[in-house]
Structure 1
């Protein structure tokens, strides 16, 4: 887009230079004409030749003026087109920005849900670890009780057998 602007600016500058050169040429031609008419020592053109020269000069000025107006109109159209494209690009950028924002929000929401899910899993792990510890302690107590009971049972059977022997 910048290159289009630079190209149009360059084209405008070239057109302006061309118009300036043409104006300078016309001024020079007018000056020469005045010098010719004012100079008594040189041959004078006939009235008919002078009239033809003036008409040709006027035609050339009109043509150059029409060309200038045409170039000016084309340049204005190009500027309008550039402005439309600029607005279109700005609209596209805004639309892409909004899409990016929406995607970012969705991604943030997913990250929040993943963090919540991870926290729930961590909580479950902690709870299950605590349950396992409690079960292990309970099992250990039951084992101790069973061991003590068995030991008592063995003692009692030994005592009974002793008692029966007597």
Structure 2
């Protein structure tokens, strides 16, 4: 069991000019552009983000400043509601290191228990030390490595946070 169980976090408060909110249909073009900038080799196509918005309305969160999207977090609760996967987390490169990804994850983790989620899973590139440190600081524990998870040469670490 994790030292940091899934517990409700306080909602993000002071994050300067930014706010975290559920994505809307109007956000889709900007979200596709942002995802492509953040993950050029693994970006979701428009249709996938459209379907994620429809299926996980309250779990596709965006970080905006009122005029532009600067980040997002996408979680996907399972049909039984007990488990969720983090399918995406990203913040614009020029804004990294300011704690914004942490705030997105905290808000995601605050929302999931409301829906009955007991454990949260994610994968991360083994060389992405900043993301790994963030996830560990939030209580995620490594569950192993998956060779070729996203195809040949695209290995991932598997992490989980359990209540």
Report TM bin, short chain.
under 0.3
The two structures have a TM-score, normalised by structure 1, of 0.17
Structure showing greater relative contact order (alpha-carbon pairs closer than 8 Å, 6 or more residues apart): 1
The two structures have a TM-score, normalised by structure 2, of 0.17
Task: Pick the structure with more helix per residue.
Answer: 1
